[in-house]
Amino acid sequence: MHCVCFRKPNDLEWSSLKKNEAHHALKLYVFNVELHTWFLDLDVDVTLVPVPNHRAMKLRLHETMHEYAHTLSASGNSVLDRLCVNESFYPWYLVRRQLNGATIDTYEEYEWTQQVISKLENDAEVLVYANSQLTAKFFDGKVKVFGSQLGSEGAIRGLSSILHYFGILIFRALLGLIKSPRKAQNLYLYGSFLDQKLFQVDGKKLIKGDPIFQYFHDEVGIQDDFTTVSVFKNFGLKKYPKASLWSRGPRFASRHLFFERYMIQAFLNSEARRRISSFRRTVGKNRQEQYENPFYQFLNNRLNAQKWQLVLAVVRFEAGLLMMDHLRPKTVGGDSEWTFAKYPILMAAKAKKIPTYAIQHGIISHQNIDYNFHESDVSNKPFVDKTLVWGQGAQNRLSSDSVYPQDSLVLTGQVRTDVIPALKKEKPTFLLPNWNKDQTIILFASQYLPRSQELRDRLISDVLKLQAEVENLRVIIKPHPRELSDLSPFKEIARQLGLKPEIVTGDLYGLISLSDVVITFYSTVGTEALYFEKELIVLDYDGVDGSGYIKKGVAHHCNSYDALKDCIHSHLSAGLEDKSLARQRYIDEILFSIDGNVRFRMLEKIRAMSEGGVQSNDNA
């Protein structure tokens, strides 16, 4: 018997495996070092199968999804064409992110199990201990799959949650009808509803708002020719924003409107309602489509779970058309353009020949499927007219590695950096009680690693040990936003070490400005540390180098606690190796400029679109 393991067996499964092993009838296969070590510690003979890493598998899944989108089903058409609303709106480009996130684990289990089976005899009996029962859908009776949980990705939440959601939409729609919006404005689509602490752009005091775009929001809010369009997100949220945020307009905006007023109008418009109903029937029929490739069939079935999200996206598209006809805006744009909330509105603007723009909101990696396109996608024109990017690196990534038109990419810089000149000039020492200029501050940027809890615990432990073993050192832990709901791992590890951790959740840029050294695994916080010219240490035990900091020569690599401790001692005594030239080249590639004026350049480029367009190389 052959057994493929993606997880630790439960007690009953383990008992069965031990019986087979006792009769020398078991061959066991695993794919990660942690599970391999676990079995070896139990004195079980196990084979560690070499496979591509998670990042490589994500890229392979992107290719598989692209092929599925363009492959004809048994009925003779592709899902890309089946879901097409009109030549301006292809919902496939909207839903593929959800499919990618919901299927990557199952894809890995399918591909890696196939790799094992391909080397066995045809009549071999195979057991698979999977993380999801979805994996069972790919194999015949000779392969028995035992999943630890039912896959429910994309499933609609309970009726009460849906009623709550639509209650919010109706309330916002009624608010929107109270006030008549201005026409012929530049429309900025807003939907973050974040209320986090960050520094005012002059670095003087803390305010509440969006930590990524607040400085741009503040400028948009005082411009006479801009109106902020508040757009509530699609249903299915794990947690809705506070009512104080969604029941009023954005506090930064002197002119705003609630987009939901047009959604109600779309439901009341007979032609729009007819098109929405037609699309709903089309999506419903999609479950009848058949594919020879079992994974294509699986993707098609998973897409059906997104039915009502897709229908609501078409409602937004129809509402967007009505809004364009009513307001005749100069431009329409925003950040996070590939969301269910905003993409349909942007495509409605394109359908009405109104210039559209998007703003880069994070580092655009090769693993981000939102920005991965092929030549066969170009004719569908899925992009906005202009994308405002941070620097040359993003421009090259989108034009060379993807297929964005070169003249659609506009260099502006990263708006969050507008506060850096102020924070460099005067450090916000009030963020850290008892701040001491003679004390070396180490900032550990923790990461959310749901796949590798043991790795995360080891990282936390090694960083905290510095606090106990190195004199005159102050170790600050900055949790990832997705870790804030449960800080117990940090506290428990510290308790085991006999330490009291200093966990700080304040403004990231303020904390970086106060630190001397930033430690990370591969978080993008490492890049932001380089903006402030801080020493960057990558604590990476296996040389994963997830963000390329080591390869690009901008970080000091430590592969063990002893190496980390030695690195800190070197910093405190003679100083670390000078990496300033490599770091400057790295920053020059990522950012157009850190001059405190990004928000003004963004406004300038957006206004230029309504006056005849913007050239990607016009960066004065």
What digits encode the pLDDT tens for the residues 556-596?
999 999 999 999 999 999 889 999 999 999 999 999 999 99
φ, ψ (nearest 5 deg) of residue 309: -65, -40
Per DSSP, the three-state class of 387 is strand
Q: How confident is the model at residue 134 (pLDDT cuts 50, 70, 90)?
A: confident
Q: 126-135, 240-249, 274-283 — which one is most confidently predicted on average?
A: 274-283
Residue 614 pLDDT greater than 50, yes or no = no
What pLDDT shows up at residue 158? 62
Q: How confident is the model at residue 238 (pLDDT cuts 50, 70, 90)?
A: low
Q: How confident is the model at residue 227 (pLDDT cuts 50, 70, 90)?
A: very high
Distance (Å, whole) CA 91 – CA 72: 17
Residue scoring higher pLDDT (248 or 566):
566
**144 token code pair:** 């028995």
Q: How confident is the model at residue 168 (pLDDT cuts 50, 70, 90)?
A: very high
Cα three-residue angle 491-493-494, rounded to 5 degrees: 60
- What is each CA distance from 263 to 248, 319, 320, 447, in whole angstroms? 17, 5, 8, 38
pLDDT tens digits, one per residue of 430-466? 999 999 988 999 999 999 887 788 899 999 999 999 9
> How crowded is residue 507: how many other Cβ atoms within 10 Å of its Cβ?
20
What pLDDT shows up at residue 133? 72
What pLDDT shows up at residue 279? 96
Residue 195 pLDDT greater than 70, yes or no = yes
What pLDDT shows up at residue 156? 44
Distance (Å, whole) CA 408 – CA 616: 6
Q: How confident is the model at residue 475 (pLDDT cuts 50, 70, 90)?
A: very high
What pLDDT shows up at residue 237? 63
pLDDT, mean of residues 255-276:
96
What pLDDT shows up at residue 356? 98
**94 token code pair:** 């909207």
C-beta of residue 198 within 8 angstroms of C-beta of residue 507: yes
pLDDT, mean of residues 351-368:
93
In 3D space, the residue among 307, 266, 273 whose CA is nearest the CA of residue 95 turns out to be 307
What pLDDT shows up at residue 265? 96
What pLDDT shows up at residue 613? 47
pLDDT tens digits, one per residue of 273-328? 999 999 999 999 998 999 999 899 999 999 998 999 999 999 999 999 999 999 99
Q: How confident is the model at residue 153 (pLDDT cuts 50, 70, 90)?
A: very low
Residue 23 pLDDT greater than 50, yes or no = yes
Per DSSP, the three-state class of 615 is coil
pLDDT-above-70 percentage for the chain:
95
Q: How confident is the model at residue 57 (pLDDT cuts 50, 70, 90)?
A: very high
pLDDT tens digits, one per residue of 393-422? 999 999 998 999 999 999 999 999 999 999
> How crowded is residue 208: how many other Cβ atoms within 10 Å of its Cβ?
12
Q: How confident is the model at residue 22 (pLDDT cuts 50, 70, 90)?
A: low
Sheet with 502-503, side-by-side order of all strands = 502-503, 473-478, 440-445, 517-520, 535-539, 556-558
Range of lowest pLDDT (64-73, 122-131, 573-582):
122-131
Assign residue 596 a region (left: φ > 0; alpha: ψ between -120 and 50; beta: otherwise).
Answer: left
b/e sequence 53-77, b meaning 16+ C-beta within 10 Å: ebeebbeebbebbbebbeeebeeee
Give the helix/strand (H/E) hosting 116: helix 92-117
C-beta of residue 216 within 8 angstroms of C-beta of residue 602: yes
Distance (Å, whole) CA 90 – CA 95: 10
pLDDT, mean of residues 61-79:
95
Residue scoring higher pLDDT (244 or 584):
584
pLDDT tens digits, one per residue of 491-548? 999 999 999 999 998 899 999 999 999 999 999 999 999 999 999 999 999 888 989 9
What pLDDT shows up at residue 272? 96
**67 token code pair:** 């092929």
In 3D space, the residue among 451, 369, 449, 371 whose CA is nearest the CA of residue 98 turns out to be 369
Residue 481 pLDDT greater than 80, yes or no = yes
φ, ψ (nearest 5 deg) of residue 225: -100, 15
pLDDT tens digits, one per residue of 347-358? 999 999 999 999
As a whole number, the mean pLDDT across the chain is 91
- What is each CA distance from 104 to 15, 55, 131, 295, in whole angstroms? 30, 10, 12, 12
Residue 11 pLDDT greater than 50, yes or no = yes
Q: How confident is the model at residue 601 (pLDDT cuts 50, 70, 90)?
A: very high
pLDDT, mean of residues 471-481:
93
